[in-house]
Amino acid sequence: MASNHPPENGVGGDDEREEDDDAEEEEDEEVREDEEEEPRLKYQRLGGSVPSLLSNDAAASIAVAERMIALGTHDGTVHILDFQGNQVKEYAAHTATVNDISFDSEGEYVGSCSDDGSVVVNGLFTDERLKFEYHRPMKTIALDPDFSRKPSRRFVTGGLAGQLFLNLKNWLGYGKQVLHDGEGPIHAVKWRTSLIAWANDAGVKIYDMANNQRISFIERPRGSPRPELLLPHLVWQDDTLLVIGWGTCVKIAAIKTNPSNGANGLQRTISISSTKYVDIVASFQTSYYISGIAPFGDTLVVLAYIPEENAEKDFRSTVPSRQGTAQRPEVRIVTWKNDELTTDALPVHGYEHYKAKDYSLAHAPFSGSSYAGGQWAAGDEPLYYIVSPKDVVIARPRDAEDHISWLLQHGWHEKALAAVEAGHGGTELLDEVGSRYLDHLIIERKYAEAASLCPKLLRSSASAWERWVFHFAHLRQLPVLVPYMPIENPQLSDTAYEVALVSLTTSPSFHELLLSTIKSWPNTLYSSMPVISAIEPQLNTSSMTDLLKEALAELYIINTQYEKAFTLYADLMKPEIFDFIEKHNLHDAIHDKVVELMILDSKRAVHVLILHRDFIPPSEVVGQLLGASKKCDEKSLLHLYLHSLFEIDPQAGKEFHDLQVDLYAEYEPKMLLPFLRSSQHYRLDKAYETCVKKDLVREQVFILGRMGNVKQALAVIINKLEDMEEAVEFVTMQHDDDLWEELIKQCLRKPEMIGMLLEHTVGNLDPLYIVKKVPDGLEIPRLRDRLVKIITDYRTETSLRHGCNDILKTDCVNLLVKYYNEARRAVHLEIEEEGNRKKENDDTSFGQKAERASNSVKTMELKSKTRGGGRCCLCFDPFYIQNLSVVVFFCCHAYHIACLIGASDSMNEASNASDSDDDSENDDAQSRRSRMCCVLCTTAGR
């Protein structure tokens, strides 16, 4: 069975390894990494026509131009090849071994020399062919770099005759000039710009064609094999650096222009007026024989021949015998200080039988400036050709892909990945590295590390992601991959996501990840039913954790099974359950979850239960809370619910008011008295018993008062509360004179209460009445002070009453004066036509009239305009139609006199009929009728 706590490298159990084995393997790997160094060059055999050419012949020399290769053989043929080894041309130039080949800088001419004593120059793109006979074996040749551009057609050559010939064309034809003679055979010659370097038995000499003077002589290294046994090698690295490899010695000579004495084995043989000289800038000895040398950036490529241990001494003087015991030649990259950077042994065909002289090294022209920081510019990498009698091997700098492949071969996948990420490889290479790296980690059982690298290695390949998802699932390690699975760019198949989620249900240690994954993944990625089917059998088992329950609830929500999700949320006591209820309208589902909701958040639960009491009646809520089996304070929760319910709807839970009395008495006594006053649905006797039990005195007083036992209630106030003010208030509310007597009676038992009664009954009882009730000789504390206070309060009250009467009288007089002044004001009468004419006046005339009017009425105030708009309030005719007087009352009603008299007579007749029975009032009525009054106001008053 899998462990609940997976190891770092995976889900594991069966995949664990011993720590000691891991440590030993890591140490071995570090040692291998330190010992094995990555090669700088990569090799391949030159194909094309070369294998067939060398099957019947043997290679003797080679030269490389920018566009082609020239290969000389022992039968005297010069083969022109492309860089793939395909033969382009063939020149049967000689009848013996081709010892040396040379191109001009443009690659348009190729020159060759042979043991047959001839030198042949062929035009590669023309039919031009030049042949020169020297009648002695010629060992080396160098064409003028400008051979194709200059008509002089110069070249230098030399051989066993010991003479270095300069051939050039003049107006008489081709002529020979001997540049050097008398120091043994010429073994090698190289021409760069105006400088010619050659080697003979004595050493190396440099000649300047610009001023036709020899610059310097570099002595042959002491102890080196004879040149005919091991040839010296000359290579111009650039226009001023000459690399010399001879025997076991390497020298680098710099051509300088500042005149100074030579050093390091140099002998000056030129005039003091020369501006050029040679300085040896580097020199070192090797443990091998040099069969070829070439520049490699700021280092050197050396073709090394490893001598046999027993034959090393004889090699210097005699030709080594071919016994088939020679070692493979090696290509070494060394610095100018002879620090070896890398060594590669070449599996050359037949190397067991070859001598050092049988190998040669040539390189294609390149610009050393393209080498920077160990890297070559694209397309400018140097090519090296290692020639043996039956093989031509090409060596070129290893590129980024080679470096990555080498790292993969040696199991250094992490370094290979870092190289690819650094931009040293393409997408296909990254896919290969990624796949091999993941395979390696899986084999090493480092599942967690492999999973963490998947986003980087698989990127947006949906097919690759799905392949690895199912591979991890097959290994039962899919849970470690789930956090890294993409949900977009790319989006995988729904099956992949479902398999991933199901894998997380298998162990409690994955349940937290399952929950977070379900919450973070869009529900459109997968179907929830397969995952639900995997979880539901675990319900009510020991493997069912709270996290798994919550995950199942989330899946139910995705599948719109809200009631099932609610049940799980309620079991988990999730605070967001209330929002969930409101969001999905699950009020019917909470019938059997009242207790859980109240325990979770009583305030929010009460709000929901009261708000939806039509679905969940109070009786059901109370029943569940009273029967709660969980450890909770069910009475406190019940009190909170009933209290909130009573505040919202006092009638909703009236059958529980008796219970509510007990709950208030226990949890919130301050609220009991307002409840007792508001409710009519509790038993008074039971409520009284509860209050007595809890010693709630004021509540006892209220209940006794409601029961009608006011005297006992008053006794409780006096004896227990000793609050006279409350006692007086209680008696006052009862409106019972006998209760006042009872109050006085109760107070007589306590002398202190008499004084308090005197203080609080002012306005309700006569203090003298109370004093008369006090028995003689009864000592009342502070009686004098209290009586003084009563008298003082009485005087103060009397003074206040007199003051109020004076203020009232003054206000009445002021109001009468104001009314009188108001009555004296004029009333404005306005005729309609006059008003219309005023409206028709322009603004200018209006302003002038307004100014005159204001001046004329400065001393007169108008009360208001008449009611009726310039018409009689009875006949409604305008005042100007009839030539009648107009009467205006201070109520602003206006009448024609004729209309008013007629209306007054009608009113008098009605008054006479009603007053005929009362003769004593006739005189007064008659006097009233003789006075005019406003008909409308008089009628309204009646």
Would you place residue 539 in the very low, low, confident or very high pLDDT band (cuts 50, 70, 90)?
confident
Per-residue model confidence (pLDDT) at position 323: 54
Q: Name the DSSP class of 150.
A: S
Per-residue model confidence (pLDDT) at position 268: 46
pLDDT of 834 higher than 60: no
In whole angstroms, what is the distance from residue 244 CA to residue 290 CA?
10
Would you place residue 500 in the very low, low, confident or very high pLDDT band (cuts 50, 70, 90)?
very high
In whole angstroms, what is the distance from residue 424 CA to residue 433 CA?
12
pLDDT of 337 higher than 80: yes
Sheet holding 129-133, edge to edge: 98-103, 109-114, 118-123, 129-133
pLDDT of 466 higher than 90: yes
- What is the DSSP annotation of 890-902? TTSBEEEHHHHHH
Average pLDDT over residues 68-88: 94
Determine which of 43-47, 170-174, 937-941 has the lowest per-residue pLDDT on average. Answer: 937-941
State what percent of residues in the chain have pLDDT above 90. Answer: 38
Per-residue model confidence (pLDDT) at position 192: 93
> How many residues are listed for the chain in this entry?
942
- 132, 364, 655, 680, 703 from 651: Cα distances, Å: 135, 109, 9, 10, 20
pTM as predicted? 0.56
Beta pairing partners, 236: 242
Average pLDDT over residues 872-891: 77
- Return the top range by mean pLDDT from 378-387, 394-403, 658-667: 658-667
Phi, psi of 157 (to 5 degrees): -155, 160
Per-residue model confidence (pLDDT) at position 761: 65
Residue 424 tokens read as 């040293």
Average pLDDT over residues 228-250: 91
Residue with tokens 């089996």, as numbered in its chain: 629
Residue 65: which of 78, 45, 77, 80 has the closest Cα? Answer: 80
Strands 826-828 and 862-865: parallel
Would you place residue 777 in the very low, low, confident or very high pLDDT band (cuts 50, 70, 90)?
low
The type of residue at 12 is G
pLDDT in tens, 8-38: 455 554 444 444 455 555 555 554 544 567 8
Residues in CB range of 365: below 8 A, 6 or more apart: 64, 65, 66
pLDDT in tens, 411-452: 888 888 888 877 666 667 778 888 888 888 899 899 999 999
- Return the top range by mean pLDDT from 111-115, 223-227, 731-735, 929-933: 111-115
The torsion defined by the Cα of 372, 378, 380 and 384, in degrees rounded to 10, comes to 90
- 48, 110, 542, 552, 660 from 539: Cα distances, Å: 74, 90, 8, 10, 40
Per-residue model confidence (pLDDT) at position 30: 52
Q: Are 100 and 137 a contacting pair, CB within 8 Å?
A: no
Which ranges of 280-332 would DSSP assign to H, the alpha helix? 312-315
Q: Are 159 and 134 a contacting pair, CB within 8 Å?
A: yes
Determine which of 64-73, 236-245, 307-316, 625-634 has the lowest per-residue pLDDT on average. Answer: 307-316
pLDDT of 318 higher than 60: no
Q: Are 109 and 145 a contacting pair, CB within 8 Å?
A: no
pLDDT of 795 higher than 60: yes
Would you place residue 263 in the very low, low, confident or very high pLDDT band (cuts 50, 70, 90)?
very low
- 228, 229, 725, 851 from 318: Cα distances, Å: 10, 8, 144, 151
Determine which of 340-344, 665-669, 837-841, 857-861 has the lowest per-residue pLDDT on average. Answer: 857-861
Q: Are 281 and 265 a contacting pair, CB within 8 Å?
A: no
